[in-house]
C-alpha cells in the first residue's frame, strides 16, 4: 500500500479509439466522432450517491410489495468504533452485491444496518477523555454512516437500529422480563474477575494472559457475587438437534456449536465413603462418566480443587495442610481444559467401589473441572488418556496393576496398547459382564446400578447458563427492583424503559457509576410501595445483539418490539454474513432468543419455510479475515514501520538502516504490526467501485484475503474497458429497455459466438450470485466476456444492423451483450454500473436505475453448441472424419488442435511434418499436405 499511492491514476481515458471500430469487413468504414469518453470515478460516485438518496426517500414507510418474494440480506451489525476497517468493507461489499443482484432478480430486498452500540470502549473513552459514552457513540455512528455511503452500499436506513437508544433497549428489557416470566431468568452466586485495586469487576477480555488487570495491572482475583443468569441450558437439546435444519450453514460452524453445547450421554455412579475414625462425612460421592462399561477398571477417584469435600471439616488432619496448600496453588487456574495440570495429591480419604467393594483412594487434581458433571471423576487409567497420564505422573499404580477391562474385538488381552480408549468387548475381569460389547455392557451395568440405587442414566451438557449481568454503566439496565420485603420484583412493563441516567460521573474506580447515583437507585417497590433499590447491573451486550434482526423488520414500532405480522413475513433472515469469530456465542444466543420469541408466538413462520422451528438465519456466509502485509527485521523479529523500509520493484523490501531484506508476511491487521490499511484512503485513491471489485476479486468470501493494492489498477483497467465498449454503442435508438427476441438461425457466425459467450456468462454469474457466492469467479467471467467483446466488432457482420447517433452500425446481438455485461457487473460496481447504464440509454425518455432493471435472462438455445462434421484428408485422400463445434469453424488453430486430438490423427498427421493445411467449405473439409 505504501508505494502504489503514487503509482496509480484516478482518471482513465478512452480517447484512443482506432482499430476497434473500423471493421475490415464492413463495406463502409464507420468514422466515429471523437467523444470525450472519460470516466471520472470520484465524480461518478458522488453523482450516484446523491441520486440513490433521492430514490430511497420515496420508500420512507418500508413498504413491502406483497407480490414479490422477499430476500432479507443482513451483515452482522458493527460496533460503532468510529472507523470502518477493511474487514467491514469486505462484508458490506459482499452483502451489498448480493442484495443488489437479488433486487434485479425481482425480489423485495431488505438490507438494513444498525449499531451494536453498548459496550466497554465507549465507557473507557468516557473515563479517559471525559466524553459521555452517548455523545462518543453518536459521533462515531455519524462518521461510519458516511463511510458506508462512500463504499456505495444500499442500506435501508429507515430500518436502522441502535442498541443504546431507549427506543431499542426498552424492548431488550421487555424481552428480559418475558424470559423472567417464563422462568428462564434466575440469580445465583458466580465467580467474577475482581480488580482489588480499582475495586471493580472486569470482563474476561480485560484480564490479560498473565491474569492481570488491563488498567491497574493488579493480579485479578475471583470473587463470588450474585449474578443474573438466563437459562439457555433449557434449550440445549433443541439448539443441538435443530442444527440439522441448518442446511445452508458451513459444517464447521455447526460443529463448533455442537461442541459448545457438548451433549454427552452417560451414567452417574455413587460411591460411599469408607468409614474412618468415626468422622462425620458427607453421605457419598457421585461421579459422571461417559463410559459406564469401564466401571470395573476404576483405580481411584479424583475431585476438583473447588469440590466441597476439600475442606478442614472433611479432610483427615494428617493430610489437610498438604491438600489445602496444593489447592491454594492451583486456584484461579486460567488454562484451557486440555492444558490443565494433571498433578494431584491424596486426600487421605477412601471410597468403596459399589460393584466390587474394593477400597479406592480419593485424589484432588485441577484436571477435574468444578463446573462439569459432578466435579468428580472415576479414574480408569487403562481407558482414558487423562487418567493414564495422571496415574503415571502421580505414581498411583504401576503398569501391571492397571486394570484392563475393555479390549478390541479381535485382540487378546495381553496385546493391548494402553491406554485403549475406544469401545470394544469386556475382558474376563468384569464378572458377569465379561464378553459383552461395550454398548451392551453400558446399558446392563447402569441398569444394575440403578436397580440397586447407586447409579442412573445421565445426560450431561458442556453448555452453561448465560451470565448476563455486568457491573458496568454503558448497557441496558436490568429492569429489576430489590425490596427488603418482596425480594426481587420486576419493573412493571408500563414503566419501561428503565432509562440509563446521563448525569453520572465516570471514574476508573469503585464499580459502576450507577451504584453511586442515589436518586436513581432508590425507588418505591412496585409491590408493597415500600423503599426499595434498583438493580444497578446492566445487560451483557450479547443480549442486545441477539434479537436486533427481528427489530429490523419493524424498527420504528413504538408499541412492541416488532409487529407479529411484519416479522412473520420477513423472517427468517435469508442470508446472514459475518465473521467466523461469531460462530459460537452470538449465533447461539441469537438462535436461542429467536426460538424463544417464536415459541411465545411473537412471530410465526410460513408453513414449510426453511429452516423452521424459529431458526433465525437460513444461509450463513462466514467471511474470512483481511490480512495486511507486515515487514519484520530478520534479526530482531521486530515489526517495522513503513518509514523504516525501502520497497523494491520486485515486491521485496530492504531495511533502511542496514540494507538487509525484511521478512514479509501477511497477518491480521493491527496497529502494533503497522499493517492496517485505511479503507477511506484506498477509496480516495482508487475510487469505491474499484476498491469493492478488488476486495471481491482477490479471494472467495470465506477465505483469508491478503491485502495489497498493487493489482487494484487491474480492476480500474477493466472498468475502463467496459466504459469503452459502452461508449462505442451508446445512443442507439433502441435504448436499453428492449426485450430481446433473437432468431439464432438469422445470426452471423460472429453473432452466434458472442451470443453464446453472453449467455454462458449469464449462466455462470447467476450461479455465483445465487449459489456459490464465489464473487471472484463471477468477476473473472465478466472480464472474459469483456475481452471477447473488445476483440470483436460492434457490427459483428450483422444482417440486421442498428445505427447509433454517431452513425456506427451495431449488431443487436452486440448491443445485447454490452447491456447484459453492464447489468451483471452493476451489483459489484454500482456507480460505474449506473453511469454505463445511463449512457447506454441516453435516448430514453425516462431514466431508470439499472437496479430497477431485471437481471439478464438466459437463452438456453444459445448454449446448445451446434456441431458440424469435418472430413479430414491427407495429401488429398480422405482418411477420417471429426465432429467439431460450429463455433470453432472459423478458427484455424482451433480446428487444427481439435483434429490433432482425434485418435486417428496420430497415425496420419501427428508424426509427419505438415507443410500446409487447406481449409475448404468453411471448415467442413480440411486437407493436410505432409
Q: Using CB under 6 A as the criterion, which residues of the chain lie in contact with ligand ANZ when the complex forms?
A: 264, 288-291, 294, 368-369, 372-373, 375, 377-378, 380, 383-384, 460
**What DSSP letter does each residue of 90-156 carry, written as one string?**
HHHHHHHHHHHHHHHTT-EEE---EE---SHHHHHHHHHH---HHHHHHHHHHHHHHHHHHTT----
Give the x-and-dash track for 435-474 against Zn ion (CB under 5 A): ----------------------------------------
As a whole number of Å, the end-to-end CA separation of the chain is: 57
The C-alpha R_g of the chain, in whole angstroms, comes to: 36
Q: Please state the closest distance from residue 378 (CB atom) to ligand ANZ, in A.
A: 5
Closer of 265 and 359 to ligand ANZ (Cβ): 265
Instruction: Pick what 527 binds: Zn ion, ligand ANZ, none; C-beta below 5 to 8 Å, kind-dependent.
Output: Zn ion
User: Among Zn ion, ligand ANZ, none, what does residue 525 contact (CB within 5–8 Å per kind)?
Assistant: Zn ion
Which CB atom, from 290 or from 803, has the smaller least distance to ligand ANZ? 290
Shortest distance, position 527 Cβ to Zn ion, whole Å: 4
Residues 6+ apart with CB under 8 A from 233: 461, 463, 464, 465
Residue 218 or 486: which CB sits closer to Zn ion?
486
486 binds, among ligand ANZ, Zn ion, none (CB under 5 to 8 A by kind): Zn ion
Judged by CB under 5 A, the residue of 30, 236, 240, 525 near Zn ion is 525
* Residue 369: CB minimum distance to ligand ANZ, A: 4
Find the shortest distance in angstroms from Cβ 460 to Zn ion: 39
Q: Which of 491, 592, 481 has the alpha carbon at shortest distance from 542?
A: 592
Query: Residue 362 touches which of ligand ANZ, Zn ion, none (CB < 5 to 8 A by kind)?
Result: none
Rounded to 5 degrees, what angle do the CA atoms 60, 65, 68 make? 140
Q: What's the angle, vertex CA 512, arms to CA 129 and CA 124, rounded to 5?
A: 25
Residue 631: all three cell numbers together: 515487514
Residue 705 binds which one of ligand ANZ, Zn ion, none, with CB within 5 to 8 A depending on kind? none
| Cell numbers representing residue 486 in the block | 418482596
Pairing of strands 359-364, 300-303: parallel
Query: What angle separates helix 812-825 from helix 830-840, to the nearest 10 degrees?
Result: 150
The item of Zn ion, ligand ANZ, none sharing an interface with residue 483, based on CB under 5 to 8 Å by kind, is Zn ion
Binding of Zn ion by 482 (CB under 5 A)? no
The answer to whether 122 and 136 are in contact (CB under 8 A) is yes
Ramachandran area for residue 659 (φ above 0: left; ψ -120 to 50: alpha; else beta): left
Q: CA angle, corner 725, sides to 721 and 729, nearest 5? A: 165
459, containing H or E segment: strand 455-460
Tally of CB atoms within 10 A around 849: 17
287 lies in the site for Zn ion, by CB under 5 A:
no
> Reduced to 3 states, what is the DSSP secondary structure of residue 368?
coil
The binder of 528, among Zn ion, ligand ANZ, none, by C-beta within 5 to 8 A per type, is: Zn ion
Is there binding between residue 527 and Zn ion (CB under 5 A)? yes
Binder among 162, 175, 405, 483 for Zn ion (CB under 5 A): 483
Q: How far apart are CA 470 and CA 472, in angstroms?
A: 5
Is the CB of 265 or the CB of 857 nearer to ligand ANZ?
265
Q: Which is nearer to Zn ion, 385 or 493 (CB)?
A: 493
In the bound complex, what is the minimum distance in angstroms from residue 463's beta carbon to ligand ANZ?
12
Pair 499, 455: CB distance under 8 Å: no
Residue 927 forms beta bridges with which residues? 873, 918
Binding site partner of 880, from ligand ANZ, Zn ion, none, Cβ cut-off 5-8 A by kind:
none
**Which grid coordinates belong to 510?**
469503585
Query: Residue 918's binding partner, choosing from Zn ion, ligand ANZ, none, with beta-carbon cut-off 5 to 8 A by kind?
Result: none
CB of 337 to ligand ANZ, least distance (A): 8
Place of cell 503509482: 7
90 or 291: whose CB is closer to ligand ANZ? 291
CB of 424 to ligand ANZ, least distance (A): 11
Q: Interacting stretch for Zn ion, rule CB under 5 A, among 6-14, 482-490, 734-742, 863-871?
A: 482-490
Among 279, 528, 609, 704, binds Zn ion (CB under 5 A): 528
Distance CA 606, CA 571 (A): 9
What does 288 bind: Zn ion, ligand ANZ, none (CB cut-off 5 to 8 Å by kind)?
ligand ANZ
- Applying CB under 5 A, the residues found at the interface with Zn ion are 483, 485-486, 525, 527-528
Amino acid at each position: 500500500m505504501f508505494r502504489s499511492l503514487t503509482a496509480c491514476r484516478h482518471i482513465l481515458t478512452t480517447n484512443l479509439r482506432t482499430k476497434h471500430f473500423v471493421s475490415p469487413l464492413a463495406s463502409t468504414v464507420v468514422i466515429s466522432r471523437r467523444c470525450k469518453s472519460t470516466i471520472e470515478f470520484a465524480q461518478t460516485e458522488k453523482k450516484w450517491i446523491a441520486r440513490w438518496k433521492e430514490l430511497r426517500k420515496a420508500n420512507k414507510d418500508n413498504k413491502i410489495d406483497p407480490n414479490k418474494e422477499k430476500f432479507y440480506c443482513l451483515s452482522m451489525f458493527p460496533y460503532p468504533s468510529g472507523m470502518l476497517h477493511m474487514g467491514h468493507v469486505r462484508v458490506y461489499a459482499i452483502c451489498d452485491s448480493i442484495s443488489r443482484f437479488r433486487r434485479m432478480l425481482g425480489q423485495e430486498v431488505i438490507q438494513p444496518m444498525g449499531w451494536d452500540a453498548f459496550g466497554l470502549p465507549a465507557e473507557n473513552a468516557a473515563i479517559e477523555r471525559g466524553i459521555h459514552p452517548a455523545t462518543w457513540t453518536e459521533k462515531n455512528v455519524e462518521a461510519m454512516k458516511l463511510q458506508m455511503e462512500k463504499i456505495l452500499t444500499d442500506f435501508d436506513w429507515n430500518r436502522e437500529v441502535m442498541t443504546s437508544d431507549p427506543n431499542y433497549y426498552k424492548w431488550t428489557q421487555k424481552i428480559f422480563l418475558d424470559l423472567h416470566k417464563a422462568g428462564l431468568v434466575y440469580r445465583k452466586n458466580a465467580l467474577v474477575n475482581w480488580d482489588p485495586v480499582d475495586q471493580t469487576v472486569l470482563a474476561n477480555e480485560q484480564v490479560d494472559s498473565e491474569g492481570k488487570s488491563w488498567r491497574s495491572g493488579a493480579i485479578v482475583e475471583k470473587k463470588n457475587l450474585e449474578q443474573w443468569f438466563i437459562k439457555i441450558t433449557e434449550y440445549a437439546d433443541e439448539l443441538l438437534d435443530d442444527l440439522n435444519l441448518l442446511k445452508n450453514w458451513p459444517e464447521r460452524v455447526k460443529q463448533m456449536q455442537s461442541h459448545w453445547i457438548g451433549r454427552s450421554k452417560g451414567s452417574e455412579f455413587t460411591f460411599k465413603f469408607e468409614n474412618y475414625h468415626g468422622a462425620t462425612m458427607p453421605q457419598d460421592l457421585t461421579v459422571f462418566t461417559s463410559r459406564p462399561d469401564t466401571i470395573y477398571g476404576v483405580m481411584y477417584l479424583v475431585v476438583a480443587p473447588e469440590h466441597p469435600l476439600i475442606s478442614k471439616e472433611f479432610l483427615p488432619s494428617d493430610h489437610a495442610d498438604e491438600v489445602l496448600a496444593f489447592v491454594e496453588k492451583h486456584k484461579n487456574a486460567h488454562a484451557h481444559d486440555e492444558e490443565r495440570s494433571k498433578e494431584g495429591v491424596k486426600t487421605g480419604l477412601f471410597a468403596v467401589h459399589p460393584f466390587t467393594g474394593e477400597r479406592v483412594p480419593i485424589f484432588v487434581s485441577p484436571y477435574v473441572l468444578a463446573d462439569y458433571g459432578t466435579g468428580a471423576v472415576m479414574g480408569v487409567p487403562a481407558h482414558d488418556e487423562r487418567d493414564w497420564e495422571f496415574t503415571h505422573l502421580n505414581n498411583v499404580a504401576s503398569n501391571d496393576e492397571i486394570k484392563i477391562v475393555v479390549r478390541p474385538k479381535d485382540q487378546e488381552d495381553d496385546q493391548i496398547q494402553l491406554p485403549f480408549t475406544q469401545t470394544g468387548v469386556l475382558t474376563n475381569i468384569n464378572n458377569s459382564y465379561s464378553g459383552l460389547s461395550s454398548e451392551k455392557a453400558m446399558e446392563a451395568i447402569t441398569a444394575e446400578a440403578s436397580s440397586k440405587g447407586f447409579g442412573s442414566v445421565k445426560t450431561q451438557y458442556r453448555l452453561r447458563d448465560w451470565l448476563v449481568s455486568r457491573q458496568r454503566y454503558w448497557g441496558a439496565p436490568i429492569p429489576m427492583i430489590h425490596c427488603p420485603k418482596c425480594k426481587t420484583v420486576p419493573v412493571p412493563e408500563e414503566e419501561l424503559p428503565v432509562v440509563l441516567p446521563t448525569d453520572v460521573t465516570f471514574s476508573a474506580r469503585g464499580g459502576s457509576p450507577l451504584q453511586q447515583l442515589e436518586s436513581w437507585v432508590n425507588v418505591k417497590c412496585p409491590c408493597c410501595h415500600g423503599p426499595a433499590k434498583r438493580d444497578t447491573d446492566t445487560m451483557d451486550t450479547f443480549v442486545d445483539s441477539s434479537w436486533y434482526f427481528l427489530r429490523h423488520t419493524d424498527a420504528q414500532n413504538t408499541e412492541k418490539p416488532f409487529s407479529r405480522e411484519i416479522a412473520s413475513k420477513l423472517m427468517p433472515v435469508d442470508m446472514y454474513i459475518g465473521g467466523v469469530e461469531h460462530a459460537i456465542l452470538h449465533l447461539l444466543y441469537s438462535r436461542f432468543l429467536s426460538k424463544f420469541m417464536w415459541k411465545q408466538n411473537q412471530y410465526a413462520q410460513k408453513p414449510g419455510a426453511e429452516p423452521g422451528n424459529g431458526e433465525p438465519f437460513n444461509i450463513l456466509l462466514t467471511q474470512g479475515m483481511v490480512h495486511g502485509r507486515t515487514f519484520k527485521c530478520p534479526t530482531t523479529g521486530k515489526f517495522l514501520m513503513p518509514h523504516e523500509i525501502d520497497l523494491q520493484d520486485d515486491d521485496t523490501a530492504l531495511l533502511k538502516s542496514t540494507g538487509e531484506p525484511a521478512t514479509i508476511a501477511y497477518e491480521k491487521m493491527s496497529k502494533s504490526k503497522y499493517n492496517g490499511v485505511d479503507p477511506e484512503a484506498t477509496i480516495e485513491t482508487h475510487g469505491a467501485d474499484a476498491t469493492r471489485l478488488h476486495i471481491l476479486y482477490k479471494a472467495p468470501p470465506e477465505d483469508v484475503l491478503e491485502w495489497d493494492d498493487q493489482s487494484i489498477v487491474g480492476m480500474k483497467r477493466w472498468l475502463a474497458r467496459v466504459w469503452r465498449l459502452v461508449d462505442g454503442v451508446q445512443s442507439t435508438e433502441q435504448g436499453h429497455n428492449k426485450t430481446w427476441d433473437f432468431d439464432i438461425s438469422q445470426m452471423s457466425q460472429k453473432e452466434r459466438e458472442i451470443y453464446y459467450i453472453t449467455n454462458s456468462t449469464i449462466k455462470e454469474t447467476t450461479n455465483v450470485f445465487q449459489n456459490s457466492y464465489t464473487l471472484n469467479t463471477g468477476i473473472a467471467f465478466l472480464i472474459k466476456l469483456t475481452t471477447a467483446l473488445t476483440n470483436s466488432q460492434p457490427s459483428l457482420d450483422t444482417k440486421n444492423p442498428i445505427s447509433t447517433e454517431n452513425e456506427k452500425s451495431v449488431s443487436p446481438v452486440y448491443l445485447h451483450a454490452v447491456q447484459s455485461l453492464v447489468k451483471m457487473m452493476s451489483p459489484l460496481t454500482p456507480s460505474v454500473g449506473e453511469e454505463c447504464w445511463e449512457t447506454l440509454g441516453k435516448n430514453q425518455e425516462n431514466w431508470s436505475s439499472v437496479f430497477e432493471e431485471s437481471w439478464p435472462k438466459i437463452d438456453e438455445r444459445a448454449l446448445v453448441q451446434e456441431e458440424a462434421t469435418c472430413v479430414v484428408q491427407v495429401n488429398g485422400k480422405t482418411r477420417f472424419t471429426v465432429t467439431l463445434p460450429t463455433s470453432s469453424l472459423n478458427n484455424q488453430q482451433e480446428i487444427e488442435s481439435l483434429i490433432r486430438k482425434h485418435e486417428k490423427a496420430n497415425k496420419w498427421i501427428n508424426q509427419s511434418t505438415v507443410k500446409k493445411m487447406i481449409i475448404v467449405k468453411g471448415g467442413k473439409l480440411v486437407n493436410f499436405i505432409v
